Amino acid sequence: MTTDVLHDCVLGDSHGQSVLFVPKDRYIATLRKLIDDSYTMCVDLTAVDFLTHPGRTLPEAIAPERFEIVVNLLSMRDRTRMRLRTQVSEADASIDSAFDLYPGTEAMEREVFDMFGITFNSHPDLTRILMPEDWDGHPLRKDYSQGRIPVQFKGSAS
């Protein structure tokens, strides 16, 4: 992975796509700068739990954390993509919401909250979106117990 710098963040390349490693405390400021650079569309926002894979490839300047927020942006003007990767610790599983900059992230941030338990500060409605409100836990965390739900068929012995 080659590295450079953009907006005071490490800029790498992954199979021809630009990857910007953004510190959590500069996440929103960097998104603002990228909007000024014409990255006006947020295509995707998700998270990854690296609990069982701590040895992933990161630039030397980036300290790995359990969680990573991954944001894919698109510049319609330049026809280019930019991927942001922001490390989020297990001890403080929260990050500022991108909703004010990219309103389309409202549901994506709710999904990350629901599935991973990562809180988005200043989100307008941070409630579960996929699981029932009374669901216990966050199903995409690597330490979430898989368990099983018994299936009953009509007319079969229980």
- Helix, strand or coil, per DSSP, at residue 120: strand
Q: Are strands 17-21 and 80-88 parallel, antiparallel or unpaired?
A: parallel
- Contact (Cβ atoms closer than 8 angstroms) between residue 98 and residue 45: yes
Q: Are strands 94-96 and 3-6 parallel, antiparallel or unpaired?
A: unpaired
Rounded Cα gap, residues 136 and 131, in angstroms: 9
Averaged confidence pLDDT in the chain: 93
Rounded Cα gap, residues 71 and 139, in angstroms: 21
- Name the DSSP class of 148: -
Query: Where do the domains of the chain lie, and which CATH numbers do they carry?
Result: 3-54+62-121 (3.30.460.80)
Q: What is the model's pLDDT at position 156?
A: 64
pLDDT digits 0-9 by tens, 24-52: 999 999 999 999 999 999 999 999 999 99
- Name the DSSP class of 60: T
Q: 54 pLDDT band (50/70/90 cuts)?
A: confident
Q: 145 pLDDT band (50/70/90 cuts)?
A: confident
2 pLDDT above the threshold of 60: no
> Across 7-66, where does the E strand assignment appear?
9-14, 17-21, 41-49
Q: What is the model's pLDDT at position 157?
A: 66
Report, as an integer, the average pLDDT of 131-135.
92
Of 117 and 155, the one with more pLDDT:
117
